[in-house]
Structure 1
Amino acid sequence: MYNENNEFLTVLDEIPTRCTIIMDKALSGGLLANAIAVIALTAGKRHPVLLGESLIDASGEAHPGLIPTGIPMLCADTEDLKEIRKAALEKGCDVVDFPVEGQQTKNYEEFLATTSNIHTEAMKYLGIALIGSRRTINKLTGKCQMIK
């Protein structure tokens, strides 16, 4: 849900305790890295509460805080991604999804125009991030494998 300034408003009933990213198992190399980066940046912006406090090294220099719970990196086939996404939304998780058109278009305007012509049921995803409770996400991702 977004406000009038197009800023995301969380729809979660509780503070999220888990972020898991599930990618299309057919992706590899630069396309996989690109899709993960896009999903992770969006998830971080939508849920800054997931980030830990800044790290201070022995010299006193500060480094940006990282996610203290880690981010499991899983994979699934295209149809399983769609099913997991739908089930996660039904269970109250926030979902960041990356449609395949994101890597098939030349700019964001073209991406927006292309996806506006695709119905939800017909979407295919390169990957998704699930943000919510650890218990719910663990149940949803039990069949997924770790990315190798």
Structure 2
Amino acid sequence: MQTQQKPERCVIVVDEALNPGKASNAVAVVAFTLGQRHSHLVGAPLRESDGTAHPGLIPIGIPVLKATTQQLSELRQKSLAHCDVVDFPVQGQATTDYHAFLDAIQAVPGASLQYLAIGLVGPRNRVGKLVGGFSLFA
């Protein structure tokens, strides 16, 4: 007997203080890594009536929500035991050099990291409880 896989939910929560350009960048970085880690979430290719194919997209959607810096840190900590978490620390937008980014993270104790965005993938009900109080980023 096959067990039915629980429905998954994918959500990204971004720092509400970011301007649209920085917020878009943070969401894109997190989404790219989520896609790599959860390739099964990508749907079938889209086909036009003439047969032209387009890459598959995520059929469950990805709400982008907003939170304060403090809420992002708390959300990350609460989520670690319940779902997959992809976080994007503030140091990621301080440089365009990935090695400098790695060095900057290595110099900071984990408990004092601050985040620009957090991506979550996990059981629908669990993720829903974790992000239930957040509004859409607009």
Sort the TM-score into its range (normalised by shorter chain): over 0.9
Q: How many residues are treated as equivalent by the alignment?
A: 134
In 1: Cα distance, 2:97 partner to 2:7 partner: 32
- Structure 2 gap segments, 5+ residues each: none
In 1: Cα distance, 2:117 partner to 2:96 partner: 19
In 1: Cα distance, 2:112 partner to 2:65 partner: 23
SS at structure 2 position matched to 1:127: strand
In structure 2, do the counterparts of structure 1 residues 60 and 130 end up closer, same or farther at CA, with 3 Å as the change threshold?
Answer: same
Q: 1:86 aligned to 77, 83, 86, which one?
A: 77
Look up the match of 1:8: none
Question: Is 1:17 aligned to 2:8, yes or no?
Answer: yes
Pairs within 5 Å for 1:1-148? 17-91=8-82, 93-148=83-138
Runs of 4+ in 1 over 3 A off after TM superposition: none
1:106 CA drift (Å): 3.2
Look up the match of 1:3: none
Report the aligned-residue RMSD.
1.2
SS at structure 1 position matched to 2:119: strand
- Structure 1 gap segments, 5+ residues each: 1-13
Identity of aligned residues (%): 46
